[in-house]
Chain A
Amino acid sequence: MSTAEETPKATDSAAAGDDLAQLLGRVAARDAAAFATLYRATHAVLYGVVARILTRGDASGEALQEAYVRIWEKAGEFDLAKGSPLAWMATIARNRALDEVRRIRPTSLEEMPEGFEPAAETVDPLAGRARSERLAALLACLGALDADKREAVLLAYYRGFSRDALARRFGAPTATIKTWLRRSLMQLRDCLES
């Protein structure tokens, strides 16, 4: 698998987000050319989402295809008031990948995509540049969690770790992990609403 990264121009500015929203509007009107443009602008981010969870190239490709079919079908439901176009699309891709990974088998720590360093890459997005106000707010709230609990949330989000996988990772009972998650998620919600 190639791990060469593409710069997602779509995420670089609010103006680009507006472009994606316009493209989604045209896709909702069944504009095939707009769909192709949307795919080109976003597929590397969406593949990044599914490949981190599924780890196997064939399963990732399948999930990516299913996600874009769903985006085509659901484009009319996108609501800019509830989030950015890319966040909406990436969530669709992520849900496809989660359904698939829960169907196949528990996530294994050993199965990493080639050239992947999750500890450096997915566990510390706090170092990344905030791309939107929503992301900035979420990162600030994540930053207020204890380091272990923040890592658990991020491993779940980016790598699709289940409670059991997190328990193995942190050497803690599953019940403890559940308690961590509950406290962390409620703390996040309160922080985002404050």
Chain B
Amino acid sequence: MTLSPDDDFAAAEFALGTLEASERATFAARRRREPELDAAIRAWEARLSPLAEATPPIAPPSDFLSAIEARIRAAAPPPAADGVAALQRRLSRWRAAAIGATGIAAALAIGFIAREATRTNAPTEFVAILQKSADSPAFVASINLATGELSVRPVAAPPQAGKSYELWIIEPKLGAPRSLGVIDAASVTRGARLAAFDRAVVEDATYAVTVEPEGGSPDGKPSGPPVFVGKLVPVEP
């Protein structure tokens, strides 16, 4: 080991926890760049860890298990690769969340999957969930490739005064993001704007929503980073 005695002692103090706040933060940054330092900290943690195991237990004031499970679900990967069953679970969970937030938005989502579903070998119905995180639903976009029809439903997306939400299709083959139009926050938006794109592009694309000046982006380009993004998921019965 080429670690200096001073660094090894600092690793020991890091593991023991006696470093002051600024030293701890500095050391935490260093360990990310210096594998030997990181290994030394882990070795000291392992030496001292039997003490942690021997800690007398205290019953927590409340049961945190369901809250922890909710956090784990919230940190799960987005539904792009999931089957429709997982998507339906997500939707039902969001529905439950949305009912708590706004009953009107929840009503827009209820029965959505069932109504849009078609039984074909090659799915023509797709949905994109445009979300900030798994537990904060924003918009549900559905796309019918057979007709090129697109509909976007807001699900608990907070309206912003003097601003508009604008939907974009993003795919490397297209170059820059292309606008799919402004989303009417109050109702379902429908249009046939996807007919101009290849089916493969539509299926592989990422869909994003940005906040734009009222009426949409003035120059046809997103004004800022997306506030919601999502990929298409085939809707199958």
Binding site for B on A (CB under 8 A): 1-8, 11, 32, 35-36, 39-40, 43-45, 47-49, 51-53, 57, 60-61, 64-65, 68-69, 72-73, 82-84, 86-88, 90-91, 93-95, 98-99, 102-103, 113, 121-122, 125, 128, 131-132, 134-135, 137-139, 153-154, 156-158, 160-164, 166, 181-182, 185-186, 188-189, 192
Q: How far is the CA of A52 from the CA of B17 in the complex (A)?
A: 13
Q: How far is the CA of A18 from the CA of B61 in the complex (A)?
A: 28
| Residue on B nearest A1 in the bound complex, by CB | B61
Q: How far is the CA of A158 from the CA of B13 in the complex (A)?
A: 14
Closest CB pairs A-B (n = 8): A90-B52, A44-B57, A135-B50, A87-B49, A87-B53, A48-B58, A102-B21, A185-B12
Extra pairs beyond A5-B58, A90-B52 (19, CB < 8 Å): A2-B61, A39-B65, A43-B65, A44-B59, A48-B56, A48-B57, A53-B17, A65-B67, A83-B50, A84-B53, A86-B52, A91-B52, A102-B19, A103-B21, A131-B53, A157-B51, A162-B18, A181-B12, A185-B9
The answer to whether A160 and B17 have CB atoms under 8 Å apart is: yes
Smallest beta-carbon distance B70→chain A, Å: 10
Smallest beta-carbon distance A32→chain B, Å: 7
The answer to whether B49 and A57 have CB atoms under 8 Å apart is: no
Smallest beta-carbon distance A93→chain B, Å: 8
Q: How far is the CA of A68 from the CA of B65 in the complex (A)?
A: 9
Q: How far is the CA of A11 from the CA of B132 in the complex (A)?
A: 41
- B172 at interface (Cβ–Cβ under 8 A)? no
The answer to whether A185 and B13 have CB atoms under 8 Å apart is: yes
| Pairs A–B under 8 Å by Cβ, sample size 9 | A2-B58, A3-B58, A11-B54, A39-B65, A61-B60, A82-B46, A90-B52, A121-B56, A163-B19
Q: How far is the CA of A147 from the CA of B236 in the complex (A)?
A: 70
Q: How far is the CA of A161 from the CA of B44 in the complex (A)?
A: 17
Given contacts A156-B18, A160-B17, contact A43 B64 (CB under 8 A): yes
Partner among B47, B61, B69, B72 whose Cβ is within 8 Å of the Cβ of A189: B47
Q: Which of B48, B55, B57 has the most CB of A within 10 A?
A: B55
**A128: B residues at CB distance < 8 A:** 54
Q: How far is the CA of A4 from the CA of B36 in the complex (A)?
A: 42
Q: How far is the CA of A124 from the CA of B235 in the complex (A)?
A: 62
| Residue on B nearest A98 in the bound complex, by CB | B17
**A73: B residues at CB distance < 8 A:** 75
Q: How far is the CA of A60 from the CA of B62 in the complex (A)?
A: 11
The answer to whether A158 and B51 have CB atoms under 8 Å apart is: yes
Q: Mark B66-77, 1 if CB is under 8 A from A, else 0.
A: 011101100100
The answer to whether A5 and B19 have CB atoms under 8 Å apart is: no
Q: How many residues of B contact A (CB 8 A)?
A: 38
Q: How far is the CA of A36 from the CA of B49 in the complex (A)?
A: 23
The answer to whether B75 and A153 have CB atoms under 8 Å apart is: no
**A48: B residues at CB distance < 8 A:** 55-58
The answer to whether A135 and B51 have CB atoms under 8 Å apart is: yes
The answer to whether B68 and A69 have CB atoms under 8 Å apart is: yes
The answer to whether B16 and A185 have CB atoms under 8 Å apart is: yes
| Residue on A nearest B70 in the bound complex, by CB | A65
**B12: A residues at CB distance < 8 A:** 181, 185-186, 189
**B219: A residues at CB distance < 8 A:** none
The answer to whether A44 and B16 have CB atoms under 8 Å apart is: no
Partner among B13, B55, B61 whose Cβ is within 8 Å of the Cβ of A61: B61
- B198 at interface (Cβ–Cβ under 8 A)? no
| Residue on A nearest B76 in the bound complex, by CB | A30
The answer to whether A68 and B64 have CB atoms under 8 Å apart is: yes
**A98: B residues at CB distance < 8 A:** 17, 24
Smallest beta-carbon distance A186→chain B, Å: 7
**A135: B residues at CB distance < 8 A:** 50-51, 53-54
| Residue on A nearest B12 in the bound complex, by CB | A185
Partner among B16, B52, B54 whose Cβ is within 8 Å of the Cβ of A156: B16
